[in-house]
Amino acid sequence: MIETRLGEFEEVILLLTGILGEEAYAFKIAEEFESQTKRSVSIGAVHSTLTRLEEKGFLKSEMGKATAERGGRRKRIYTITAYGKKTLTAAKDFKQALWDQFPGFATSKLSFVLS
Amino acid sequence: MSANTKPPKLATWLLNRFLRDDLAEEVQGDLDEKFLIDGKTKSQVRAKLNYWFQVINYIRPFAIRKSKSSYLNQYDMYQSYFKIGWRNLLHQKGYSFINISGLAVGMTACVLIMLYVVDEMSYDTHHVDGNRVYRISSQMKDLKYVAASAPIAEGLKRDFPEVEQSTRVLRFPGADQLLLKEEKSNKQFFEINGYYIDSTFFQLFTYQFKHGDIHTALNQPNSIILSESLADKFFGNEDPIDKTIRVTLPFGDFNYNVKGVFKEGNKSHIPANFFLTMNNSDIGGWVKNQTNWATNNIFYTYVKLKTGTSAADFESKLAAFLDRNGGNDMKAAGFSKSLFIQLMPSIYLHSHYDYEVAPNGDVKYLYIFASIAGFLLLIACINFMNLSTAKSERRAKEVGMRKVVGAMKQALVSQFLMESLLTCAIAFFFSLLLIQLLIPPFNQLVNKQLSLGQLPHVYFWLGLLTIVTGLVAGIYPAFYLSSFKPVTVLKGKLINTFSAAAIRKGLVVFQFTISIVLILGALVISNQMDFLKTKNLGFNRSQQIVLPLQTNEAIQHAETLKNDLLMQNQFVSATQATAYPGIENISDMLFYAEGKSVSESLDIMLTHTGGDYLQTLGIELLSGRDFLKPTRNDSLSLILNESAVKNLGYTSETAVGKNIYYEWMEKKYAMKIIGVMKDYHFQSLHQEIKPMALTVSPNFAGSTYYLVLHANTANYTELMKSIENSWHKINADSPFVYSFLDGDFQKNYEREERTMALIRYFTLIAIIIASLGLFGLANFTAEQRLKEIGIRKALGASVTQVVMLLSKDFLKLVVLAIVLAIPIGYFAMERWLESFAYHINISLSVMILAGVFAIAIALLTISFQSVKAAMANPVNSLKAE
């Protein structure tokens, strides 16, 4: 059985894949992850997650172009599938719904009570 | 990408080993790109490390290649290997015993030796800038002398900008121990290893202070720095700083203030117990007056060079430096010398010249011991190899079956390796016990305080030793056993191939070669030691009692004491002297014969005596006469030894009555030769007999004296009691100390004696391990040829013939080993003997003895099995089948 929910790390990777677009391959995603989150991550860990996300159907991939700095090797470019986008939106909506119920944000209510 | 900006090869190789093929391209591409970017922003090392990190992080289930074998449950197989291995050990108890005990003893020897070697190598490694500190030593003709004249240290600092700091160390000439007193507690001890040091000493040598400030401790005159244990002896738990200690010297007592206590534990070629400031009220004045660049080369001089200075360049400038500053002094003294440098941390193991600070270790012996340790372990490993391959028939069916049901060669190799590792692990357990048991006697043997704990990461190294031993012992049998073809072995064919048997024989020869070399070595060393003990030294060394006169009082009363003792009729004769045979004598003077000039002088060692020296020590006078009594009328006379006379160009007959000359402070003095004595060994037999003279002239009086007593009784308990009584009666304030001359002389051979003891034990261990292996092999052969022996006996062979038949094969190997070992041992021991100026020659009989010994041991080992097999009733072996 394939697990279809998104973990936090998976969600970030998925988002980054979307952000990077044409440039979304393991190394770039790992770099971007490090610069955006200030957390270090190995390429292997990112690659492992990408593979898993692909298995789940959130991503699809194909081999891209080769460049000189890679010793003439091609890279695997990942793109988000429609299903992946849907799951991301669902995750965001779910969280938003939770935030809406969070008391700290109901300041207006609080001031209302005080006045 | 240039060569050094490539990712680490090993990491790439590793990646390709485990990575799924379909991922290879993209992953390698990613990692290369990462590496390239890292290389631009970080150091190469960081980039490479990061590359490793990335590779290792790819060891994840999704990325690993699915290999066939990974479908097998390895864990269960290992469990099975372990079980089978364990059963095999239990099943063949005799062989297991041979293997385990051999390996345990081998490992124990190895670990003990390693402890010793590591300890010897730790000398002077703790100094912070040790690798920039050099000792300045002198060379006069072919005599290398590790000290220099007093002004050289300061001169170097002044003349060379590359010298960061210089310092001098001085040991009180001739006195190996000094009397220290603490007034309040009235404690007094004779202490060895005290050194005078310049105030800059601690800038070159790293010490940790327990009390006091290392930076200011030497600033005031008459300061003393104590070792932790010495401070403890005097002051216990009290703070010793600024307490007073009285140092007794032959010319008076002097107060020193304790300014520091240093921690012990780090070893140095200066085995200091305490330090005294060179700036002091006893010899300080004399030291300050030492401005001559040529003479009194007794100051150990050290310099610390600035970082980045080439030591070779520095050394090459020393000749000009010495010539510029000391040229005139050298010309006046009539000799020339040169300076050379020694890297301070290497002094302990590599410097063996004259006047060393203390006896040093020797790197040669470390190599010898380390290789012996390795060989012992190898001999034990060979037992394992030989017995495993010899007994392979037992395992052949198992191997065949395993292969038939699908085991691959790799799996079998790992099975057998695991068995050897298991054996080693058990051996290691026993060896740990043995080590704990043997460390105390071993420490006594080598005169050290070694413990397992002092090795850094000791358990890692021990574990590594076990694994390496297991692999060395197991790798050959593992490949041999796992290479059997299932069809052949299951058909029941004999699988003992010719090549395996040949290798086995070769290994036995190797084992015995090593053992015989060791036997030969042990025999030669012990012969040489006997030679040293019994050689006629040209004087009488037995029944000589030496009393050091180390206080002013004792020196003043020496004559009284001597007369008091002589009245007791227990002594033949007694003499006072600055030196006696066997101890270091550093006073010498350059003399030249009538009609020669100062440039043709001969360096003659001088011993100042109080008369009766020849009589007391039993030295033969060849011509002329002894000193007159009282001696003061002979103050311009000398008695020379043969070697001095010969070097001056005389014979013992013509020399008497001649004058010889020396120059001092540009004045010429004459001394008359009144007698010639036979050459006697006043130094150990390591050295040739040098030119030497006896004198009674106060001009040559040294600073220390000894009273040598020749006893005519062997009842030492009584004798020592009466000497002690007289001593205390006459020298109330001086402690009574004595030694025996033969013992002091023998001390020169301490290192050789220690080596002899170690080599003896090693030889014994090697013989035991090798014999165990031979015993196992003999047992195997006898077992294998059981039927053959039965048939032979049934057909009429006698027991003797059968024993001969069984022993012959092994004896051939031992004889071959003897042929190989004798030349190896001969050349090795010749080299060792060369370190003695007087030594035995390795005789044929020693070589024969070693060979006979080896054959005897081998015969003894095999005969048990062969006789048992030969005596057996042939019916028993033939009736079955």
DSSP letters spanning B767-834: HHHHHHHHHHHHHHHHHHTHHHHHHHHHTT--HHHHHHHHHHHHHHHHHHHHHHHHHHHHHHHHHHHT
- A-chain residue closest to B63, CA distance: A48
Number of domains into which chain A is organized: 1
Give the Cα separation of B311 and B322 in Å (integer).
17
B296 in Cβ contact with B290 (< 8 Å): yes
Helix axes B750-784, B844-871, angle to 10 degrees: 30
3-state class of B127 per DSSP? coil
Q: How far does A29 lie from chain B, in Å, by closest CA?
A: 11
First-to-last alpha carbon distance for chain A, in angstroms, is 55
* Burial class of B444 by CB neighbour count within 10 A (0 to 12, 13 to 18, 19+): exposed
- Would the CB atoms of A42 and B53 count as touching at under 8 Å? yes
User: Tens of pLDDT along B694-744?
Assistant: 988 877 776 668 899 998 877 888 888 889 988 988 888 788 888 899 888
Which letter does DSSP use for residue B706 in this model?
A: E
Q: How far does A67 lie from chain B, in Å, by closest CA?
A: 9
- pLDDT of B69 > 60? The answer is no
- B-chain residue closest to A64, CA distance: B26
pLDDT for the residue A113: 40
User: Tens of pLDDT along B795-817?
Assistant: 988 888 888 888 888 889 999 99
pLDDT for the residue B73: 63
State percent of chain A over pLDDT 70: 85
Burial readout B144-168 (b: 16 or more C-beta within 10 A, e: otherwise): bbbbbbbbbbebbbeebebbbbbbb
User: Tens of pLDDT along B815-843?
Assistant: 999 999 999 999 999 988 988 889 999 88
pLDDT for the residue B343: 94
Confidence of residue B71 (pLDDT cuts 50, 70, 90): low
Confidence of residue A4 (pLDDT cuts 50, 70, 90): low
- pLDDT of A107 > 50? The answer is no
State percent of chain B over pLDDT 90: 34
Give the Cα separation of B344 and B130 in Å (integer).
7
Give the Cα separation of A73 and A68 in Å (integer).
8
**Residues B724, B726, B729, B731: what is their CA dihedral angle, to the nearest 10 degrees?**
-70
ipTM of the complex: 0.83
Rounded to 5 degrees, what angle do the CA atoms B472, B473, B474 make? 95
More reliable by pLDDT, B666 or B481: B481
B730 in Cβ contact with B556 (< 8 Å): no
pLDDT for the residue B2: 46
- pLDDT of A111 > 80? The answer is no
Among all chains, which residue has been given the structure tokens 């190789």? B13
Q: How far does A90 lie from chain B, in Å, by closest CA?
A: 28
Work out the average pLDDT over B538-563: 86
pTM of this prediction exceeds 0.95? no
More reliable by pLDDT, A14 or B781: A14
B282 in Cβ contact with B252 (< 8 Å): yes
* Both tokens assigned to B112: 């003990």
Whether A2 is in a domain gets the answer: no
Give the Cα separation of B450 and B455 in Å (integer).
9
Least confident of B7-11, B248-252, B782-786: B248-252
Work out the average pLDDT over B610-618: 87
- pLDDT of B26 > 60? The answer is yes
- pLDDT of B493 > 70? The answer is no
- Would the CB atoms of A44 and B60 count as touching at under 8 Å? yes
Confidence of residue B395 (pLDDT cuts 50, 70, 90): confident
Give the Cα separation of B847 and B517 in Å (integer).
10
- Would the CB atoms of B26 and A51 count as touching at under 8 Å? no
- Would the CB atoms of A73 and B58 count as touching at under 8 Å? no
DSSP per residue, B245-279: EEEEETTEEEEEEEEEEE---S--SS--SEEEESS
pLDDT for the residue B72: 57
Among all chains, which residue has been given the structure tokens 């030691």? B529
Q: What are phi and psi of B639, to 5 degrees?
A: -110, 120
Whether A76 is in a domain gets the answer: yes
User: Tens of pLDDT along B117-173?
Assistant: 999 999 999 999 999 999 999 998 778 889 999 999 999 999 999 999 999 999 876
- B-chain residue closest to A25, CA distance: B30
Beta bridge partners of B482: none
* Residue among B26, B54, B60 whose CB faces A75 most closely: B26
Q: How far does B360 lie from chain A, in Å, by closest CA?
A: 54
For CA atoms B442, B446, B447, B449, give the dihedral sign: negative
Work out the average pLDDT over B470-476: 90
Helices (H), B535-680: 552-556, 558-566, 613-617, 642-648, 652-655
Among all chains, which residue has been given the structure tokens 């043969």? B642
User: Tens of pLDDT along B180-239?
Assistant: 888 888 888 888 889 999 999 999 999 999 999 999 999 999 999 999 999 999 998 888
Distances (CA, A) of B77 to B83, B396, B470, B657: 10, 19, 20, 96
Tell me, letter by letter, the H, E, C secondary structure of B643-694.
HHHHHHCCCHHHHCCCEEEEEECCEEEEEEEEEEECCCCCCCCCCCCCCEEE
Distances (CA, A) of B620 to B649, B658, B671, B689: 21, 20, 21, 15
- pLDDT of B1 > 60? The answer is no
* Both tokens assigned to A108: 């207006």
State percent of chain B over pLDDT 70: 97
* Burial class of B213 by CB neighbour count within 10 A (0 to 12, 13 to 18, 19+): exposed
* Chain B residues within an 8 Å CB radius of A67: 33
User: Tens of pLDDT along B642-657?
Assistant: 999 999 889 888 999 8
- Would the CB atoms of B63 and A25 count as touching at under 8 Å? no
For B256, half-sphere exposure in the C-beta direction (CA atoms, 13 angstrom radius) is: 33
* Both tokens assigned to B466: 């076990």
For B519, half-sphere exposure in the C-beta direction (CA atoms, 13 angstrom radius) is: 26
- B-chain residue closest to A66, CA distance: B29
Residues in CB range of B800: below 8 A, 6 or more apart: none
* Both tokens assigned to B421: 């590792």
Give the Cα separation of B354 and B144 in Å (integer).
6
For CA atoms B721, B725, B730, B731, give the dihedral sign: positive
For B481, half-sphere exposure in the C-beta direction (CA atoms, 13 angstrom radius) is: 31
Query: Which amino acid is located at B656 in the chain?
Result: V
Whether A40 is in a domain gets the answer: yes
Give the Cα separation of B225 and B272 in Å (integer).
10
For CA atoms B397, B398, B404, B410, give the dihedral sign: negative
* Residue among A25, A51, A73 whose CB faces B62 most closely: A51
Residues in CB range of B408: below 8 A, 6 or more apart: B69
CA-based radius of gyration for chain B: 36
Confidence of residue B495 (pLDDT cuts 50, 70, 90): low
Give the Cα separation of B347 and B797 in Å (integer).
67
* Residue among B1, B32, B58 whose CB faces A44 most closely: B58
Whether A65 is in a domain gets the answer: yes
Q: Which domain holds residue A63?
A: 8-114
- pLDDT of B877 > 70? The answer is yes
Q: How many CB atoms lie within 10 A of CB A88?
A: 17
Mean pLDDT of all residues belonging to chain B:
87
User: Tens of pLDDT along A18-63?
Assistant: 999 888 999 999 999 999 988 888 899 999 999 999 988 899 999 8
Q: What are phi and psi of B359, to 5 degrees?
A: -55, 130
pLDDT for the residue A3: 56
User: Tens of pLDDT along B354-364?
Assistant: 888 888 888 98
pLDDT for the residue A32: 92
Q: Of A85, A74, A29, A81, which Cα lies nearest the Cα of A60?
A: A81
User: Tens of pLDDT along B498-516?
Assistant: 677 888 889 999 999 999 9
Q: Of B143, B145, B126, B125, which Cα lies nearest the Cα of B135?
A: B145
CA-based radius of gyration for chain A: 18
* Both tokens assigned to B92: 């063949």
pLDDT for the residue A17: 92
Q: How far does B227 lie from chain A, in Å, by closest CA?
A: 52
Work out the average pLDDT over B31-35: 88
Rounded to 5 degrees, what angle do the CA atoms B144, B146, B149 make? 105
Work out the average pLDDT over B547-569: 85
Q: What are phi and psi of B196, to 5 degrees?
A: -85, 135
Interface test with A, best of B5, B6, B22, B25 (most A CBs within 10 A): B25
- pLDDT of B94 > 90? The answer is no
Whether A1 is in a domain gets the answer: no
